Amino acid sequence: MSDRLLRFDDWTSPVPPVEREVVSRLVEGEGDQPPLLFVCGPRHGAWAFAERWLGHAAQRGFPAYALTPRDRGDLRAHVHDVVQVAASLPKQAVLIGHGEGATVVARALGRYPARAAVLAAPAPSRWASFKTNPVGTLPALFAGKWRFNRRQLFSTALPADEADAYLERMSFAPRLTNPKSRATPVGNPPLLVVGSPDDRIVPRKSLDETAARYGGAPLLFPGMGHDLMLDAGWAEPIDAVLDWLTKELSATR
Amino acid sequence: MHDTPDIADRRDAVCVIGAGASGLAAIKNLREHGFAVDCYERETSVGGAWNWRHDRSPVYAATHLISSRPLAEFPDFPMPDSWPDYPHHSQLLSYLERYAKHFGLADAIWFGTEVVSCVPVGDGRWDVTTQSTGGGSSRVQRYAAVVAANGHNWAPAKPEIPGADTPGALRGTVIHSAQYKDPAQLRNRKVLVIGGGNTGCDLAVEAAQQATTVWHSTRRGYWYAPKYVLGRPADQVNERLRQWRLPLRLRQWLYRRTLALTTGDLTRFGMPAPDHRPYESHPVVNSQLPYYLGHGRIKPVPDVTRYADGKVELADGRRIDPDLVITATGYLPRFEFLDPDLLDSDPDGRPDLHLHAFARKHPTLAVVGLLQPDSGLLPLAHWQSVAVARWLRLRREDPVRAAAVQQKESARPVRSWARRHVPGRRHWFEVDHVDYLKAVDGLLHEMEPAK
């Protein structure tokens, strides 16, 4: 029996509510554009999007929100939070997930009919991450912490002190379990996968696989590290995403 | 009679009747499946029964949900998790208003417009006549399909009590629960509440807090479930038993044990014993009824036989003299805009629909929300409207497969998803939500796009 209609998990033990941190950059007046909800993995917080992307999206007319993942939440709790925040927005939202946040968004799409969705550098399977980052991943395979260094998250174009300052703000939480079964998006939203072929956490092959599952090819930004929203050249991916979105939204529904 | 003789052809558009919870879900899901929608709403705002401003709304000041939040919300648009377990009716209204705004549904709704008639014109299309609420010029438009979501809690079912029409047979006033809005109506009066359903029990409890004397007349005994058991909302505990797939008999035993250990036997207060097993009738959820019975504030009395000499005569021959009689005897579904044959309605007006949703002889006619589930109605109305939208889309895009699905579905045993219900005029559309959703899921699977 599918859990699509019979949601015993939610019916028997609802996810306990928490105070959620949502950072926003809004647009003056009531625009036509749908709100964007940026979702990161548990290592980052809403701050990572607030640095660059939120303000940039707002400047281009999209009210932009970012959610900080709750402490010690599992995948189900994170999905719950994303759907709760999305449903609280005034209009049907576009979900944009980065890294493990893309795993959360992919799951949330099975629950909430997003206006559109973007998976940015979506987290690969455990095995794929082990191959690309054996030293950092090994503890994670035993439920330990998953570690990165500066060069895995950022390109050399980003000054080392800036990169270190970002690393300082991250918390290295255990990885989320990436479920084998995938959620079919409800409401058939347009979906885009973006990433970098030089990402040292998400291999190119994994990007292609993720995009193929949704019937597309990834949009690539060579030279960038994993953290597309903080790395030098951050404007290029967000502009491409907003251009794609503008095109999709103008297409008749 | 028509002002415009020519009929406006709306081509592939679907007509939705009513912008309450079910109608809103229908608009959203039909649009999501690529249909243009025109929705007609007789009131000037959304919310249907849940909008207390509407003159047909049955809600009273203290109406709260009887299903807890997770079992009462739309599956794709959760209520805020900061809300209480059992939200107030005003919260439900604001939830529906936000749903309409979030999905931009208002531009599909024609407010202040009622549907006068829907007539099939062959080829599955419908001529829908509308007019301004309460009169005015009428207009006919042609639609590809009609989805009725006009609600079933607005036409009061009034009990036939001898003497009710005789002047002077009763000293006090009689109102239907639909006319009860505010506790001030009960204050310092002697009140008789007729009806043992959820509304009847709510009103008896409210009267116990306001009135001088409260009689509560029930014809049959029910199982009165508390809102909380074992520290959790009772329905969430019950879902656990469903998740574990405990057999019905075992669940019935557990239900009796739990009730015996908590509320105890209500017959000791004079309530009639239930004449059926637990889970065999629509659940009545009220934690306060036993409390006020135990405090003597509510006096249980048997059935009312007649009004005579200004008083109310009871089945045991006693006579009581209430100032106010409230009949909480439910509502009847009504579809004045449809010929009864279209819905295969029986002489009492109960439609016979596949899955309580699809008209058997008219593949482009459906009803959404005509259910009385043992959970909230919204999740079921959502999945019903998804099934209706999928069905209409399949019919448009792959008529051959649609015909095959229709043939297979019509062979499905009619009552496979119905609860073993207690006979009675208001119990016929009760469903067990788990069995019902399984049946809808089966239909959705059959209509899945071919891979």
Q: Which residues contact A80 (CB under 8 A, 6 or more apart)?
A: A15, B81
Using 70 as the pLDDT threshold, list the residues of chain A that sit under it: 1-2, 126-147, 180, 252-253
Contact state of A91 with B104 under an 8 Å Cβ cutoff: yes
Contact state of A111 with B76 under an 8 Å Cβ cutoff: yes
Identify the burial level of A81 via C-beta atoms within 10 angstroms of its C-beta, where 0-12 means exposed, 13-18 middle and 19 or more buried.
Answer: buried
pLDDT in tens, A9-30: 999 999 999 999 999 999 987 7
Let me know: does A89 contact A115? Beta carbons within 8 Å.
Answer: no
pLDDT for B135: 83
Chain B residues in contact with A5 by the CB 8 A cut-off are: 75, 383, 437-438, 440-441, 444
Chain B residues in contact with A84 by the CB 8 A cut-off are: 78, 80-81
Q: Which residues contact B371 (CB under 8 A, 6 or more apart)?
A: B356, B377, B380, B381, B384, B429, B430, B431, B436
Which domains can be identified in chain B, with CATH numbers? 8-155+331-447 (3.50.50.60), 159-327 (3.50.50.60)
Task: Say which DSSP state B48 is in.
Answer: G
C-alpha to C-alpha distance for A162 and A142, rounded to whole angstroms: 31
What three-state secondary structure class fits B293? helix
pLDDT in tens, B193-250: 999 999 999 999 999 999 999 999 998 888 999 999 999 999 999 999 999 999 999 9
C-alpha to C-alpha distance for B242 and B254, rounded to whole angstroms: 12
pLDDT in tens, A179-209: 767 789 999 999 999 999 999 889 999 999 9
* Surface of B (19-48) touching A: CB under 8 A: 31-32, 34
Contact state of B76 with A187 under an 8 Å Cβ cutoff: yes
Selecting from A17, A89, A91 the residue whose C-beta is nearest the C-beta of B82 gives: A17
Selecting from B81, B236, B243 the residue whose C-beta is nearest the C-beta of A84 gives: B81
How sure is the predictor about B419, in pLDDT bands with cuts at 50, 70 and 90? Answer: low
ipTM entry: 0.92
Write the secondary structure of B145-174 as one string of H (helix), E (strand) and C (coil). Answer: EEEECCCCCCEECCCCCCCCCCCCCECCEE
pLDDT in tens, B27-86: 999 999 999 999 999 999 999 999 999 989 999 999 999 999 999 999 999 999 999 999
Selecting from B75, B243, B438 the residue whose C-beta is nearest the C-beta of A8 gives: B243
Selecting from A5, A14, A90 the residue whose C-beta is nearest the C-beta of B440 gives: A5
Q: Closest chain A residue to B99 measured between Cα atoms?
A: A87
Mean pLDDT (whole number) for B244-270: 91
- Tell me which architecture the domain covering A8-250 has in CATH: 3-Layer(aba) Sandwich (3.40)
pLDDT in tens, B433-443: 999 999 999 99
Q: Which residues contact A21 (CB under 8 A, 6 or more apart)?
A: A45, A46, A67, A68
| B85 interfaces chain A, CB cutoff of 8 Å | no
pLDDT for A146: 58
Residue type, B236: Q
Give the gap in angstroms from C-alpha B178 to the nearest C-alpha of chain A: 31
Mean pLDDT (whole number) for B361-369: 95
